[in-house]
Chain A
Amino acid sequence: MLGGYTIGYLYYAITLYIISGLLIIYIDASDLGKDKKKKKEWKISRFIGWFNIAAGVLMWVCDVILN
């Protein structure tokens, strides 16, 4: 068991995946999209942003189905 009070880390992880994905898309991708020299970075930032959101949503759906 982990130290301190705990409710398990799954919901913390889901929240972190979704929020980090949103931050990447709304901060990094939109910022990099303005610079034409950083097109590769822009594409990757959009991909990893959506990847994190998808991972978070998938974990949440799996949790709902399994419980």
Chain B
Amino acid sequence: MIKMWKEFSKGLWKELPPFRLVLGLCPVLAVTKTADGGLGMGLAVVFVLTLSNLLVSLVRKIVPPKVRIACYIVIAASLVVAVELLMQAFAYTLYQKLGIFVSLIVVNCIILGRAEAFASKNPPHLSVADGLGMGLGFTLSLTFLGALREIFGYGTLFGVPVMGTSFKPFSFMIEAPGAFVCLGMLLGAMNYFTNLQRRRKGLAPRGNPAHECGSCGLCQGGK
């Protein structure tokens, strides 16, 4: 139980994706124009990630190592199709808003990365905890970024005006350039706080987490 909580909670701060564990940047910029876009995308990722972790973990002993990546891709892609169908059936406006980024969850390295780095080596209950934690962390990050961009870009939060009548929307924030700069500054702020904490504890400052494409662990795994 304690171990499950540990695997669950690490995704919420210590390895918070995509800020601490720089995984799955693609949808981060596209769907965070507004807070509800980020929230919807995040929940879709929670669904896919938790179930794919569970399924990968269940089949981890019977899948031959050579075709395991292919199996993970089939599992993830099927779950994504399931999300697409469910979203069309019960949340059509969200589906219209997210567009092709729902389908692109399948190539979000957080899914295959967690399957390869965690679920293929751990029992189902821990894998589910890991998936839930990572997914919720991802949701929190996306919602936060979406809220930030929505507040400054539209002057609203979840569609409710919050900035008063004299506010002129800062439309830079909702366009592509603003998305990149905003995410960059947020990552910078994250690094700053990490090192501030370390300095308080009397530790030497740490280098920034590197973002290598291979950090999902898939590429070495695929070889």
Do A and B belong to a common assembly? no
